[in-house]
Amino acid sequence: MELLVATRNLGKMKEIRRILASFPDCEVLGLEDVGIEYHSREEGLESFETFKENALSKANYFSGLSGLLTVADDSGISVDALAGEPGVRSRRFALDGGSASFDLAGQALDDANNRHLIESLRGIPSKGRTARYVCLAALVGNQNSKPLFFRGEALGLIVDIPAGSGGFGYDPHVFCEELGRTYAQMTPEEKEEQGDMAFLRTFGKCRALQLLKRVRKLARK
């Protein structure tokens, strides 16, 4: 059974492959595995106002191109002091805020987003910097089946000084009070236990089992 994971985020793809590796009857494929090259149309797939709409938009698009069962997610960080921002704009937070050039990508864009986040929280005390990672994943089968949705959240506090070299995105600036370190300082096992990045809760142990059960059901339709 083949499952296409529709993301071009290498860090996210690595984590999802690791989590779903315990299901040998499911072959996890990336976009490059099925020969889907980048197209500028992809930039408009996340133009909606909710994580759910963005995830479904991506899943439908790549399922249509590949003809495969496809799961796609939209993830982001919502900061309470910023009225839930950056939210669905997490990947382009610095770009939309005008503090970074549009040619940035990868680690350079992560760095710019983090700088913009810290600057936006200037003057806010630590106790007021509560945040949550949110992930909404959509699973799309054939045209006769309804899409399935999975949601996960992970809590933290935004800190000015980054710590840790693991993870990606905002991880070095998101502090887990329970463990006393940032998500970038956690081991993969701790991340999964804590629900790191929210998508680990979405794709993690029990969620992965639910996902695979539903994938099998869709595959039989």
**Catalytic residue numbers?**
74
3-state helix, strand, coil in the chain (%, to 5): 45, 20, 35
Report DSSP letters for 21-32, one per residue: TT-TT-EEE-TG
Residue type, position 60, single letter: N
Q: Which region holds residue 204: left if phi is over 0, alpha if psi is between -120 and 50, else beta?
A: beta
Q: Please, what's the b/e burial string for 145-159 (b: 16 or more CB within 10 A of its CB; e: otherwise)?
A: eebbbbbbebebbbb
The span from the CA of 124 to the CA of 76, in Å, is 21
